[in-house]
Structure 1
Amino acid sequence: MTAPSAPWWFKSSYSGGSGTECVECARTGSGALVRDSKRDAGPVVVVRGQAWQVFIEALRDGRPGV
């Protein structure tokens, strides 16, 4: 059995450019991971696949409340 690879983190396109509100995401086989880019060893939010998909679609569609 091989060890799981480390997540590939990317900065969200919705993060501001001032460097104070940067969010990073990483896709997993079952959803996504979200963290503060300034605290890469800090807490990580785990989002299941279906919830992540609904969230991304809402952002893309410009739905309020997202």
Structure 2
Amino acid sequence: MLSDEHTASTLTGWYKSSYSGGGQSNCLEVAPGHPSVPVRDSKNTSGPALLFSVDSWAAFVGAVKG
């Protein structure tokens, strides 16, 4: 997770998949364009974010699509 001084609210560029249905429940948001790929819970926009390497995130997305 990000350190206390780098909560999800300090990052920019967050978005949800168009497949999320537009609601706030059970959604993840991703903020591309950073050295790592931050992921947060859409219900807790000021909370912590998990950081994934670009390669790990690409592997995850590829597995979900497959």
TM-score bracket for this pair, using the shorter chain length: 0.5 to 0.7
Q: 1:23 aligns with which of 13, 22, 28?
A: 28
Count how many residue pairs are aligned between Structure 1 and Structure 2.
56
Normalization by structure 2: what TM-score? 0.66
Q: Do 2:29 and 2:39's aligned partners in 1 also have CA atoms closer than 8 Å? A: yes
Letter in 1 for 2:61: I
Aligned pair partner of 1:55 in 34, 54, 60: 60
Higher RCO (C-alpha 8 Å, min separation 6): 2
Q: Percent identity?
A: 38
CA distance in 1, matches of 2:50, 2:19: 17
Higher share of residues assigned helix: 2
Give me the whole-angstrom Cα distance separating, in 2, the residues matched to 1:51 and 1:7.
21
More strand per residue: 1
The alignment's C-alpha RMSD in Å is 2.0
How much does 1:18 deviate? Answer: 5.5
Q: 2:17 aligns with which of 7, 12, 18?
A: 12
TM-score by length of structure 1 reads: 0.66
1:22-52 residue CA offsets vs partner (Å, 9 max, x unmatched) = 2111113433110011111101001111101
Larger Rg: 1
Q: Return the match for 2:44 from 35, 39, 45.
A: 39
